[in-house]
Structure 1
Amino acid sequence: MSRRWARKVERCCCTFATYIPLFFVYSLTTWAVWVDVTIGSAPSKATWLGTGSSTLAVLLYGLLNWSYTTAVFTNPGSTTNDNGYSTLPTEAPPPATSFTVKANGEIRFCKKCQARKPDRAHHCSTCRRCVLKMDHHCPWLATCIGLKNHKAFLLFLIYTTLFCFYSFFVSGSWVYVEVINNTTYVETLMPINYVILSVMAGIIGIVVGAFTGWHIMLASRGQTTIECLEKTRYLSPLKKQMQNQFVAQHNGEGVPLPAYGQQLLDIHANALPGITRPEEGEEFRGHPGASRPVHQSYEEMERDRAKKRYEEYLDEQDSEKLPNAFDLGAKRNLLHLFGPKPLFWFVPVCNTTGDGWSWEPSPKWIAARENLAREREEQRA
């Protein structure tokens, strides 16, 4: 009984702690806009400060918090909402394109969510679910950034950067005109809020601005944060075939090689995080008959080392030649994120295209894969 209550108290404390950043963001931005409006309402020698500057500050504040609220309270999209399984995938998979598989060639399946994991989906241990097109888990939003709230998150970063630099310009102009060029406040009480805002807005604007630029670059490249930081390695279409041939040559056996089309179907030509290594919610199971003997001879150990070096060589070569499989060009990547209608580009309305289950491969990636397949065929011949 005491353990159950302890768990409840722990969950309540954790839930409360997750919403502290939300309170901080709402409070800090509200204080900042109040200072901006106060500066615009007070008489000043800076002629451009006034009703217009206060109105623009309120507009940026509204867009910032609208985007933030939308990003926080919008479901990023989960695999258990649609096209999910309630049991293990013992039957044929539902119709959906897939370019990625697990390391053993099977369909990506999350044992924790009991659902199939499409391309670009990952399991979040904090949210305890698989998220479609997961970018990352953001503690400042207390949720994951995924397919359906990625646009709102990016707009929040953009408007936060603009609001910070605008607040810095407003408060900094007042400090420069009223304090540095005027001795009125030398012996009297200075509005400390104005000075604090100019310092904080400048620092936060630089930090968040750099973060915003990085995310805009990722969006234009059709990448998520996970895909960028994981240093994804793609598997060559003929890698498994060459591995079998390599082992057969060293064992002195004639192993029949599978058909090219069947092999492409088996390994789906490429790999993303969760394929070359076990991902959370997935279990790696080796192929039958691949278990090692307890005692190995020196020749067998040397053969295994040579095989490992050869596999690493193939991975490195293939990674350098295969581009991002989901990069459709900067224009199409941004249109996918912000939607096809320009009217809704600057407001946090979820009009991102796609369902998170099917993805169109990049033409450059397809061409590179075909060239790589031909090169591997020539090497094998």
Structure 2
Amino acid sequence: MKTDYLIVGAGLSGLYIAHQLEKMGKNFRIIEARDRIGGRILSHPIIDPAADLSSLDCVDMGPSWFWPQMHPRITQLIDNLMLPIFPQYSQGAYLLENQQNSAPIRYESGFEQSPISMRIAGGMQNLVDSLLTSLPTNKVQLKSTVTQIEHKENGYSYVSVTQNNRQNIIETTHVIFALPLRLLADSIAFTPNLPTKVKHHFKSTSTWMAAHAKFFAVYNTPFWQKEGLSGSASSHIGPLVEIHDASTFDGIGALFGFVGVDAATRIKAGDALIKQAAIEQLTRIFGEQANHPIDVKLIDWSQEPYTATIEDHQAPTTHPRYGLPSAAKQLGQLHWYFAGTEAAQENGGYLEGALEAADAVISALNLH
């Protein structure tokens, strides 16, 4: 199989590059190890057992917010795709769970956001799904894992891809890696080898949010709003340390929180215990109505093999410094390029960073 441009990874960065190449009429292929597109963008449908298991709406298991005042690229893309948006709910009081067996402290000043964060109606998945619809179906290949890449003297790269336990070779002029840098360094063999400084940089670059787990409790209505609560809370007790309103555009109530214990402890505890403890905590904070969700969801990103490595099980204490070392950019001489949000110099970790890194690759390809 031959192509001019091979994109490895169908998250936001990879899909956006494919979207741009398609508009330019270029010959490309995008491959993805998962059985779905989106990478860390993932929206799960809400299931209400009382409604004949019909899907009501979606909640974002990965990123759900973007900031128009700070992030022009993602804002413009969402506008271009004509996706409906709405503001994150933040009106009302903010709660702090500070001590065992004590009522939470209520701060009436609330948790007003500045700058305001926005969400996509129906879930962030609509963003990547919209990009996918702009691509020919025969150019998107799922369940395909890259194991090796070899640059030949003829200027082509030969990429070994495993799909359904069969190995294929894709011959391509340009390879664009749009996956977490640490995962890339751990999972793909390069010939010639990546420069030592580059490999060290990649392996030491924390994968954004890979250490975290996200929990959702879904309710028929956002009952806390009627009580003058924003849905935002923090806790020194846990298991959730940071909680926010995640209610849908259509008015289904939801609360989400980040699980505050480390990956090893989460694995030992198991999903069922974490879910139970989280519901008990929400009931302590928001009252008895929180004890009766119609649906609960939990995702542990540290256990996603196409997101996290074992090094990612420990969360960084501050926002990591992202971007590519100069030696990585020099690999453009081999027509190897690196995208994904961890490759972004200014907005690494954010959706904006995924597009920033994608734009940098497009510029390096001299396609503008």
Do they superpose with TM above 0.5? no
Shorter-chain TM-score category?
A: under 0.3
**Bigger proportion of residues as helix:** 1
**Bigger proportion of residues as strand:** 2
What TM-score comes out, normalization by structure 1 length? 0.26
What TM-score comes out, normalization by structure 2 length? 0.26
